Structure 1
């Protein structure tokens, strides 16, 4: 496997997927658009890119304003 040749210890069957997911997520965090990420990963369908480039919900929560009147 290509990842093993460059010294990356890949979990059986998940190495390439995990690598692509991590790359796409980091690119998204750095401000890349889904279109740019899809082109880099050579996806033909934007829905495929959305699978790899997950939104970081924990980071989004830090941007949310408190709910008026407190939590319910």
Structure 2
């Protein structure tokens, strides 16, 4: 697998693409959790959101590696 994507002559690192995908997924998860009033159970929302993003990014990278090898 290449370390970067070529989009109209602009090279974008693979991790950058994975980060954007993880951010979009995390944004959807945050909306769902807010609609379910899950954040009432969370002590520090910003820390929880950061942890949710890191876990989502890890899952995206793991799944991408599984499909490319």
State TM-score, norm by structure 1: 0.30
Point out the structure with the larger strand share: 2
Point out the structure with the larger helix share: 2
- Bigger-Rg structure (1/2): 1
